[in-house]
Amino acid sequence: MTTIPQVTLNDGLLLPAVGFGTYKLNGAAGINSILSAIDTGYRLLDSAFNYENEGALGEAVRRSSVPREALIITSKLPGRHHKYDEAITTIQESLFRAGLDYYDLYLIHWPNPSKDLYVEAWQALIDAQKWGLIRSIGVCNFLPEHLDRLIKETGVTPSVNQIELHPYFSQEKQRAYDKEHGIVTESWSPLGRANKLLQDPDIKQIADAHQKTIPQIILRWHVQLGAVPIPKSSKPSRQLDNLSLFDFKLNDEEMQKIGRLSHADGRTYNQDPAIYEEF
Ligand SMILES: NC(=O)c1ccc[n+]([C@@H]2O[C@H](COP(=O)([O-])OP(=O)(O)OC[C@H]3O[C@@H](n4cnc5c(N)ncnc54)[C@H](OP(=O)(O)O)[C@@H]3O)[C@@H](O)[C@H]2O)c1
């Protein structure tokens, strides 16, 4: 089985350098896919209250022979429950749905700036961490202005910022901000949700040179950037491919060539967190 390197979060939690996305993995089929991912070697699992699969995730964890303590299990607070009391109740509900005593990582899913409640939500995560419901707390889709406010108003810096990141949208500025503040960047839709990125001719050339697949080159690029990709696949063979990233290296020229594919409007679904909101 592949040994996955780890990165250390600002609170000491060790995060595998690659995780497993679970969006759209629901019900019995979802359990089977998540179980196969754990068997393949994934230890970081990414779910959300809004994916309606915390139950499937918890069931897969119970059916797996891997001890629960060996897994880093993530869920996320939905935008409609940012008010402090609702956030606390939702974290508890997330745990009940999964049948878990604690999450390893819990993230605010979107900042939803027009509602201006994300600092309140953050305070709830801080308290839930103190009570032992969550080991590490972070955010998703937070821009520098949102992070600055969290840090200024609570004194607590998120451990993780999970953002849309792939070669067509490389997030250079946000990654630099995260790094400067000791926040680990996780990449969502690291494969661009299998859009035309997976046929890109420049990446294909690099893949041929390394005798690797295009997804493997893309995921290796994330790892070398220092970002933690969380690719989703329902298929065991792809799950294995997406984890087989640690027996080769991209050189500087290849990294730069992939970096040059990024463009300002490269988001897959035009979800700019300054405007786009999700509840
Ligand atoms: N925080 C947020 O706001 C946010 C937003 C979006 C996503 N996420 C998280 O990020 C995770 C990953 O993002 P994502 O699911 O949007 O997209 P993704 O991981 O970039 O791409 C998933 C798609 O790629 C296909 N695929 C995976 N590996 C492949 C391979 N080796 N070859 C060919 N096709 C492959 C999958 O198909 P098959 O399943 O058929 O293999 C699926 O259609 C999500 O599952 C979720 O956990 C978070």
Closest ligand 1 atom to the C-alpha of 140?
1
Cα dihedral sign for 50, 51, 52, 58? Answer: negative
Q: What is the mean pLDDT of the chain?
A: 98
Q: How would residue 3 be classed by pLDDT, with cut points 50, 70 and 90?
A: confident
- Nearest atom in ligand 1 to the alpha carbon of residue 234 is 39
**How far is Cα 274 from Cα 121, in angstroms, rounded to an integer?**
18
Q: Is residue 250's pLDDT more than 80?
A: yes
Rounded Cα–Cα distance for residues 96 and 98 (Å): 5
Residue 2 pLDDT > 90: no
The confidence score (pLDDT) of residue 1 equals 64
Tell me which residue has its CA closest to atom 22 in ligand 1: 193
* pTM summary value: 0.98
Tell me: pLDDT of 153 over 90.
yes
The string of pLDDT tens digits covering residues 177-201 is 999 999 999 999 999 999 999 999 9
Mean pLDDT within 216-235: 98
Q: Catalytic residues, which ones?
A: 51
**CB contact at 8 A, 50 and 80:** no
Distance 37 CA to ligand 1 centre (A): 13
Residue nearest atom 4 of ligand 1, based on CA coordinates: 188
Question: Do strands 184-188 and 160-164 pair parallel, antiparallel, or not at all (unpaired)?
Answer: parallel
Distance 151 CA to ligand 1 centre (A): 30
Give the Å distance between the CA of 184 and the centre of ligand 1.
Answer: 20
What atom in ligand 1 is closest to the CA of residue 22? 45
Q: What confidence tens digit (pLDDT) does each residue in 93-108 have?
A: 999 999 999 999 999 9
CB 194 near ligand 1, within 6 Å: yes
* Alpha carbon of 252 to ligand 1 centroid (Å): 26
The mean pLDDT of 83-95, rounded to a whole number, is 98
Q: Please enumerate, by residue number, every residue annotated as part of a binding site for substrate.
A: 109
The reported pLDDT for the residue numbered 219 is: 98
**Token representation of residue 21:** 């996305």
The answer to whether the beta carbons of residues 254 and 225 sit under 8 Å apart is no
Give the mean pLDDT of 62-71: 98
The domains of the chain, with CATH numbers, are 6-260 (3.20.20.100)
* Rounded CA separation 28/249 (Å): 37
Query: What is the rounded CA–CA span in Å between residue 43 and residue 20?
Result: 8
* Ligand 1 proximity of 235 Cβ (cutoff 6 Å): yes
Tokens of 188: 């969502």
- Res 44 pLDDT > 90: yes
Q: Chain-centre distance of CA 191, in angstroms?
A: 12
CB 188 near ligand 1, within 6 Å: yes
pLDDT > 80? residue 143: yes
